[in-house]
Amino acid sequence: MPHTSEVGLRLWGRTWKEFYAAAVRGLLALYDVRRVPKAAVRRRKIVLKAESPEELLVAWLDELNFYITAKRLLPVAQSFQRAGPDAVGASLRMVPLDAMRRPLKGEVKAASYHKLKVERLRGRWCATVILDV
Amino acid sequence: MSLFRKIDDYRFELPKTGGMRVPGLVYASEGMLPKIERERVAEQVANVAHLPGIVGHSLAMPDCHWGYGMAVGGVAAMDVETGVISPGGVGYDISCGVRLLRSDLSAAEIKPHAERLMDALYGRVASGVGKGGPIRVDKRGMLDVFKKGALWAVEKGYGDREDLLTCEDGGFLKDADPDLPSERAIERGRDQIGTLGSGNHFLELQVVDEIFDLGVAAVFGLFKGQLTVMVHTGSRGCGYQICEDNLRLMQRAAPKYQIRLPDRQLACAPICSQEGREYYGAMCAGANYARANRQAITHLIRECFSRVLGRGPESLGLRVVYDVCHNVAKFETHEVDGKPRRLCVHRKGATRAFAAGHPDVPEPYRAVGQPVLVPGSMGTAYYVLVGTERAMRETFGTVCHGAGRLMSRTQAAKQVEGHRLAVELKDAGVSIRTDSYRGLAEEAPLAYKDVDEVVGVCHAAGISRKVARMRPIGVLKG
């Protein structure tokens, strides 16, 4: 979603699992990740809790982004043990950034709470989230 | 019908409505206003005006544009006793700022070496996502960075004490609490000192092509035809993490203190509350990280120049003109309604611009005023301005921080092809180094407002004066 200085992601999923999986794909799209090389995969577990779905979505995106920017690991696949409005737990398969053929585009600093609302619309969980880049 | 009421050619008031505690005030030309209105700047200026303890006006500089929480280019001053402090009023990149180095070299002298110099800088100053630099710091060292900022870097041999004389706050904020940033902030910062990051961050070789005020330029050590080096970067992952951690805490603090928020990104706490004090202490630590980062980059630049030109750093005259940030909250005293008041001034994408005589202006510049560094975009112009008394009276001593974005990154990348842009810039005499041509396209000059117009508004409105203008000859894009 266009934003003058930052970038926005429109996310949706019929289930919470689909919704959080959409957030992973959205984040990778912001880094312009098109092809993931076959490389030694690392596994990481993420378990998060929050008081609202908005806070949880921000925490989920920030956690994934922490792995990308600080651990230099790119989440490429996930299986959810738990997914709901106040908690998410997932095992993620991650590929080291150094295995990528081309550098990632830009850097996502963090997900913001600006105008953020997670809501059920036409049978799907939906949100628009602005990220600082 | 316009939301704004015209005061004069460069000032437009957003009248108080609803829960706004003060009116808004936007500095712009009449031509800039439609774009400002189309975007959500007015809404964001109005939202900030709802915050408790805000004094004077909720301000926006001419480079303002839609941000998150507070508009980019926004300024809000809060009374220290009744007001709030908000991480959203500072931004994720705490103390992101600009450093300008002057040299004793002319553009003609550097020309034969420019390509090799750009290669050396590209190899030495890391840019891009999550990349570490040549400087690694352990946890104990990070606590020192948080406490001492640019002074830490100088003590480690990355520059000398003279560099600090012409840095905002002497290179570090004394109120930093090194114990407040989280383990994760420490982890993210440990290998990123001396790195640019990405987005609109850059390192540039520039040439002074116009002097507007000979006297002030001479005090700043600037002359026509001179080679300068400009660095734009901030607190990297460390600062983002400090902001993230505190924004999360502030989500709880706002309801606890019965603060009604028009936007959750403006989550805040009373300045005098524990949450407010802790954010301020952590933010100062993040700000010091940013200052250490720019000081370390200065050292790497000097190394590259010495190696390529085969001359010692002293003979090159690479000295700091100034280092000033544009994402910060600071305690300052300003006159409001004829009385001095202690305020917490939030500047998000806005630069401090103190006038001559102010004790916070570095001693070498005190007679003329504080230098203000305003980057344009790659193919355009960069300005050095000087703070004025009028800025002290009207904007809490603040002016713009750049050209300001005009177009989204997606739109820019659709209109511009990165490799072609690099060739066009090369033909225009600007050599480019980047890891990401898509990122380069997103930063194309057409994505930005006309910096000449932005600076022209600040000059004409009297909130700063033009001193010098530079043009880029080499761009290392983050």
* B199 → closest Cβ in A72, A107, A115: A107
* B237 → closest Cβ in A70, A112, A133: A70
**In this structure, which amino acid lies at residue B351?**
T
Whether A5 and B66 lie within 8 Å, measured CB to CB? yes
For residue B476, the Cα-to-chain-centroid distance in whole angstroms is: 18
Mean pLDDT estimate for chain B:
95
Q: Of the candidates B264, B266, B243, B269, which has an alpha carbon nearest to the alpha carbon of residue B254?
A: B269
> What per-residue confidence (pLDDT) applies to A101?
78
This complex has an ipTM of: 0.91
> Could you tell me which chain A residue has the CA closest to the CA of B93?
A109
> What per-residue confidence (pLDDT) applies to B371?
98
> What per-residue confidence (pLDDT) applies to A115?
87
Between A86-90, B51-55, B132-136, B385-389, the lowest mean confidence (pLDDT) is in B132-136
pLDDT along chain A (133 residues), means of 10: 81 97 94 82 94 96 95 92 96 90 84 94 96 92
A47-59 tens-digit pLDDT: 999 999 999 999 9
* Interface probe, candidates A58, A105, A130, chain B, greatest B C-beta count within 10 A: A105
Contact present, B328 and B188 (Cβ < 8 Å): no
For residue B357, the Cα-to-chain-centroid distance in whole angstroms is: 23
Give contacts of B 168-187 with A, CB under 8 A.
Answer: 184, 187
Q: Which two tokens stand for residue A107?
A: 């850097």
The C-alpha angle with vertex B415 and arms to B414 and B417, in degrees rounded to 5, equals: 85
> What per-residue confidence (pLDDT) applies to B377?
86
What is the mean predicted confidence (pLDDT) over B335-341?
94
Architecture of domain B5-406+448-477: Alpha-Beta Complex (3.90)
Residues of A with CB under 8 A from a CB of B: 2-7, 31-32, 54-55, 58-59, 62, 66, 68-70, 72, 97, 103-107, 109-110, 112-116, 130, 132-133
Whether A2 and B408 lie within 8 Å, measured CB to CB? yes
Contacts of B442 in chain A (CB under 8 A): 106
Whether A133 and B409 lie within 8 Å, measured CB to CB? yes
Q: Of the candidates B203, B242, B443, B133, which has an alpha carbon nearest to the alpha carbon of residue A105?
A: B443
> What per-residue confidence (pLDDT) applies to B408?
85
> What per-residue confidence (pLDDT) applies to B132?
81
> What per-residue confidence (pLDDT) applies to A124?
97
* A110 → closest Cβ in B184, B197, B243: B243
Q: Which residues of B are catalytic?
A: 401
Q: Which two tokens stand for residue A56?
A: 């949880």
B24: β partners: B14, B58
* Angle between the N-to-C axes of helices A53-69 and B236-256, in degrees from 0 to 180, rounded to the nearest 10: 170
B267-293 tens-digit pLDDT: 999 999 999 999 999 999 999 999 999
The torsion angle over the Cα atoms of residues B242, B353, B345 and B102, rounded to 10 degrees, is 10
B165-190 tens-digit pLDDT: 999 999 999 999 999 999 999 999 99
> What per-residue confidence (pLDDT) applies to B335?
95
B64-84 tens-digit pLDDT: 998 888 999 999 999 999 999
B395: pLDDT confidence band, cut at 50, 70 and 90? very high
Residue B379 has pLDDT above 80, yes or no: no
Whether A106 and B442 lie within 8 Å, measured CB to CB? yes
Between B68-82, B129-143, B245-259, the lowest mean confidence (pLDDT) is in B129-143
Class of domain A7-132: alpha beta
Contacts of A6 in chain B (CB under 8 A): 67-68
Whether B129 and A55 lie within 8 Å, measured CB to CB? no
Contact present, B97 and B324 (Cβ < 8 Å): yes
> What per-residue confidence (pLDDT) applies to B58?
98
Whether B184 and A70 lie within 8 Å, measured CB to CB? yes
B436: pLDDT confidence band, cut at 50, 70 and 90? confident
Residue B294 has pLDDT above 80, yes or no: yes
Give every CB contact of residue B51 below 8 A, 6+ residues apart in sequence.
B21, B76, B78, B83, B84, B86, B259, B266, B268
> What per-residue confidence (pLDDT) applies to A7?
86
Distance CA B416, CA B438 (A): 9
